[in-house]
Amino acid sequence: MKIERGMCAYVSGAGSGIGRGISLALASRGVSVGVADIRESDAAETARQITAAGGRAIALPVDVSQASSVETAADHLESAFGPISIVCNNAGVAMHGVPLHEIEMSDWDWVIGVNIYGVIHGIRSFIPRLLDRGTATHMVNTASIGGFQVNPNFMTGAYSMTKYAVVALSEALRNELADTNVGISVLAPAAVDTGIHLSERSRPERLGGAYVRPQNHFMGDMIKGSTPPETIGKRVAQAIEAGDFYIFTHAETEEWLDRRHASIKDAFAKARQAGAGSMAAE
């Protein structure tokens, strides 16, 4: 689809990081942006930057882990700027540095609530609206390179699990909506200079409230000075117009996926040697 001036977009997790980068990139093309974030002051700052540059934006306080919050934001955005053409389900939180069997259930609820249910709620609220538009529309779901492989050097299993789910949800949407006006993309960045390592400051009260999670903070040193969010935002806008499904942003990570795929191929070779049966036989 062609991104045209006057279109309306919803971007979650847009108060900082990649979400802000996407919002600024879309606004620079004349798109009116609903800047959604659980931290309303951060959303307001992104909206301020857009309007200061001559664009149109509205800050939307949204807890993506709550279906009603996303639906209310969608209604508010359409009331402000009209029918929505672009949706970026981008909000996400980190859950690093702790073995899976030691992660507290409250943290499981949080990371699943934001990273998986946040996308599900976005799908449920926005896909019907995009289908009703009739004209070309697009949804981008932010996964991670961690949604395609689990890095053996870091304990990021819970985070990767949620991002694998985002990839699967996006692939399913692509299949289901192939003959419609709705395009789908899944964004899979690697190191981006964001504050994701500080995401525990945004945990809602119903899931325990804001706290300090030092196990995440090693990531801050790793990503400092890496790819700017604005670069990712521009890449996303280009990919929407090109109709790209997979949006990779760090070419060097191809080697990580190659290693995973090689181990899978080896496992299939062993299956053939073992004389494994066909699916038809089952």
Active site residues: 159
- Cβ atoms of residues 173 and 184 within 8 Å: yes
86 CB-near residues (< 8 Å, 6+ apart): 3, 7, 8, 9, 10, 26, 31, 137, 138, 139, 140, 240
Q: 20: closest CA among 60, 40, 50? A: 50
SS3 58: strand
- Residue burial 62-101, b: 16+ Cβ < 10 Å; e: rest: bbbbbbebbeebbebbeeebeebbbbbbbbbbbbbbbeee
Tell me how far apart the alpha carbons of residues 203 and 120 are, in angstroms, rounded to a whole number: 19
Segment holding 161, helix H or strand E: helix 157-176
What single-letter amino acid sits at 167? V
